[in-house]
Amino acid sequence: MSEQPAIAVVTGASRGVGRGIAVALGFAGMTVYVTGRTLSGQGQEEVNGQLLGGSLEETVQLINRAGGRGIAVACDHADDAQVASLFGRVQREQGRLDLLVNNATFLHSQLVAPGPFWTKPLDMVEMLNVGLRSAYVASYHAVPLLLAASRGLIVFISSYGANCYMHGPAYGAQKAGCDKLAADMAVDLEGTGVAALSLWLGLQHTERSALVGAASGVDYSAFLAQAETPEFNGRVIHALLNDPELEQLSGQTLISAEQALRYGIIDSEGRQPASLRHQLGAPVPTHPARVG
């Protein structure tokens, strides 16, 4: 790695998982470009009738306070031109990139509502646009910058829903698609020093998950007590970026909690989040066949 501060882009970082990952990278001294639609103030996303808090400017303050350097870039990942502009700015200001975290995704307010997919709003399918297609577009623009750094990493934020029924077919297809993007991009990236990985996160301790739990009428307190903080996953990603064996891991789908054990990473209050592979399944290995 360069002696200069490592450069990261974390998409969808105005709140929740993206914010926590970005702050953890800031704590490691990185320069972190954070993207989202809410630059300041409060966004328009609602969960259980309540507006979700968070903005890019708040995330930048937290990154700076942690010891890194945060840079906010308002970006709607449904707009390819805005994504191209984002990476154009990174090129002009930094000339390289060390890490891309594809976290941005569309999460519908009725995502966890009961009922089959055809009874829910059709725009649930937007997860295949912002979440899957958008991750491809961001990676497309990021790779030349990652190659300029000679060593780098693309991380796709995924979940156990890639291989078990979770929140319906749109959610599952988006997560499974991210796993396949990582596997296939890794083939194209072989020998370049740039790796691509998909990372399965467990239940996240975020404002959204707390509001969803309250809306369901189920006592989520026991689940949240075992949930991962987003910062925990940011520390796992940082460890992966600096792993001497990163090239050998490229193309794999990994479970964050298992990698944390490998790197000796613990969560807040000394907790060690557990892998859920026995309850929810394990990543499916890809076949080694290659058709050009």
Residue whose token pair is 């969960």: 47
Contact 215, 47 (CB under 8 A): yes
Question: 214 CB contacts (<8 Å, ≥6 apart)?
Answer: 48, 220
182: left (phi over 0), alpha (psi -120 to 50) or beta: alpha
pLDDT of residue 2: 43
Helix (H/G/I), strand (E/B), else coil: 204: strand
Of 258, 147, 122, 264, which Cα lies nearest the Cα of 199? 258
Q: Tell me if residue 115 falls in helix, strand or coil.
A: coil
Kindly list the catalytic residues: 171
The whole-number pLDDT of residue 1 equals: 42
pLDDT tens digits in sequence order for the chain, 292 residues long: 447 899 999 999 999 999 999 999 999 999 999 999 999 876 666 555 566 678 999 999 999 999 999 999 999 999 999 999 999 999 999 999 999 999 999 988 889 889 999 999 999 999 999 999 999 999 999 999 999 998 999 999 999 999 999 999 999 999 999 999 999 999 999 999 999 999 999 988 765 455 455 445 555 566 666 799 999 999 999 999 999 999 999 999 999 999 999 999 999 989 999 999 999 999 999 999 999 8
Q: Could you state, in order of their start, the residue ranges of all structural domains in the chain?
A: 7-269
**Both ends of the chain: CA-CA distance in Å?**
32
| Prediction pTM value | 0.92
CB 193 within 8 A of CB 264: no
Which residue matches tokens 């490592």?
A: 6
7-269 classified as CATH 3.40.640.10: no
Radius of gyration of the chain (CA): 18
Largest CA distance in the chain: 54
From 91, 187, 205, select the one nearest 141 (Cα to Cα).
91
